[in-house]
Amino acid sequence: MLATEFDTRGDAFAPAPKAASGSLAATPDDKAMLRAAADLTRDLARARPEIYWPDMLVSAALGYGTLALAIAEALKGGSWWLVAALGVFSALALYRALLFIHELTHMHRDALPGFRFAWNVLVGIPMLIPSLMYEGVHTLHHSRIRYGTSEDPEYLPLALMKPWSLPVFTLTALLLPVGLLIRSAILVPLGAIIPAVRTLVWERASSLAINPDFRRRKPEGDFARAVFWQELGATLWAWTLLGWSATHGWLPLGIAVCVVSLAALLNQVRTLVAHLWENEGEQMTVTGQYLDSVNVPPPGLWGAIWAPVGLRYHALHHLLPSMPYHSLAECHRRIGSHLGVDSTYGRANYDGLFPLLSRLARSTMGSRPR
């Protein structure tokens, strides 16, 4: 993990007290904040290969290495406590490696030559989550006319839903690796034969989306070619995993599924606090999007574990979507120092994971039935 994620210079810009929230959809744009965000950070916008490559490669190596050790320990009948500890470490490392898919989505194709291909080969396809599942989808979430509406693939008004919706939403993540195996090993090959299945799988099961009403549009051009090769790679890998397990035993695959399930659960918990989830489908200004999103600034190691690769600055990311993750801490310091604690910018800064989860849970307790 990189020092940029543990920058303690944000201490001087501590979270400000939150005012009672009204309708964020009616929030006008704070032009001073938008201008400061753009003007103060231009020199930080270059993706630095000397940070991206080692971070991704080391995270993947640690994840796979500790997963292999956990499997080896289990196969020899060793301590299940050690297997569990190695599995947790593997999940954390692979979780970090997987979240580079978010960077790929915002990164210009020429910014880091070879990085997208390497990530897909080393992380995306082995984890059955190639970059096609986020590219062309996540950018809709940043659209001014789509954010928080029924056309946003990554938004649900969770704060306004029934209390039981939160545990259901969270725990469904545990089923992700099994769903991915079924998708790549069965549904995608079946779709190659049956057009109706291909359409269904693409529209409903090819996106890292949380909005059940979202339907994905058919891929075109260069992206369609990339989709073909990524899908082919994921299918061949899924068949290899299932074939090897059928002939050599299911324990290694079972441990791997558990590790990926834990990584998926961590991401789902992070998703719960990425936004306030208070919009009811109205279009929002950029400032409204910002205030419906969350920053959890330094100091501390804990935040960089549950929200790695810059995702602790999710509100700031909605101001500067293309800013590399390694620059966000400095962007936060500059903008906060310039605008001050009592500015609009300060209203999106929060104290940590558990206060945010508590806020969301309290909101559902008082929400009207949906």
Question: What's this model's pTM, rounded to 2 decimal places?
Answer: 0.92
Q: In sequence order, which residues have a C-beta less than 8 Å from that of residue 134 and are 6 or more positions away?
A: 101, 102, 104, 105, 207, 208
**Model pLDDT for residues 180-207, shown as the tens digit of each residue:** 999 999 999 999 999 999 999 999 999 9
Q: Phi, psi (5° rounding) for residue 327? A: -100, -10
- Measured distance CA(298)–CA(312) in Å, rounded: 9
Model pLDDT, residue 235 = 98
Bond into 299 cis (ω within 30):
yes
Model pLDDT, residue 12 = 35
Report the candidate in 323, 251, 320 with the shortest Cα–Cα distance to residue 44: 323
Model pLDDT, residue 155 = 96
DSSP-derived letter for residue 184 is I
Model pLDDT, residue 4 = 40
- Measured distance CA(303)–CA(265) in Å, rounded: 16
pLDDT along the chain (370 residues), means of 10: 39 38 78 96 96 98 98 96 98 98 92 96 98 94 92 94 93 96 98 96 96 93 95 98 97 98 97 94 93 88 92 96 96 95 93 93 71
Model pLDDT, residue 157 = 93
Model pLDDT, residue 22 = 52
Model pLDDT, residue 25 = 78
Model pLDDT, residue 10 = 41
**Model pLDDT for residues 245-280, shown as the tens digit of each residue:** 999 999 999 999 999 999 999 999 999 999 999 998
SS3 63: helix
* Cα–Cα separations (whole angstroms), residue 362 to 162, 185, 213, 233: 11, 41, 26, 44
Model pLDDT, residue 297 = 86
